[in-house]
Amino acid sequence: MHAAEKMHEDGNHLYDELNALIKEGQEVLNDAEAVPTIYTTILDAFMSPLEAAAELLKRMAENEEMAMRLKATKAAEELNDLRNLMSKLQSLSEQLHPLETAYADVRFYDVDVEQTQQQYENLICLMNRELHDENILNESTQQLARN
């Protein structure tokens, strides 16, 4: 990424330099009194950044391939990071599994307690009915004994 930023910066610098030289060249062409040697000087000034720009364009193609490789490498690293994260999550899940089992046991225990409470209430009802029936029988026996 650093190389791409450097190339971008170099490209912008060369662009600005070429624009300045073009402006200077236009001024020289419009100046009828310009000395012919100035044309040679300006030509040399043009050639240097122009050659540098051409070289930069050649390197860009090579760097594009390197950038693609870099992206592929980064993608592979991100995938490895995701795999590592999945391993950690799997490990945590396995560590928490006993808690899940304990929770399931508590739920079963809760259901057992509810069933036991219901059975207790049913037994109390039955005992109350029996006591009621026994009281009725005792009263009936006492009434018969009085008569």
pLDDT in tens, 49-79: 778 777 776 776 666 667 677 777 887 787 7
pLDDT at 20 over 90: no
pLDDT at 110 over 60: yes
Q: Report the pLDDT value the prediction gives residue 102, as an integer from 0 to 100.
A: 64
pLDDT at 117 over 70: yes
Within its chain, how far is the Cα of 132 from the centroid?
A: 71
pLDDT at 129 over 90: yes
Within its chain, how far is the Cα of 17 from the centroid?
A: 44
Is the CB of residue 53 less than 8 Å from the CB of residue 14? yes
Residue 21: name the closest of 40, 54, 61, 49 by CA. 49
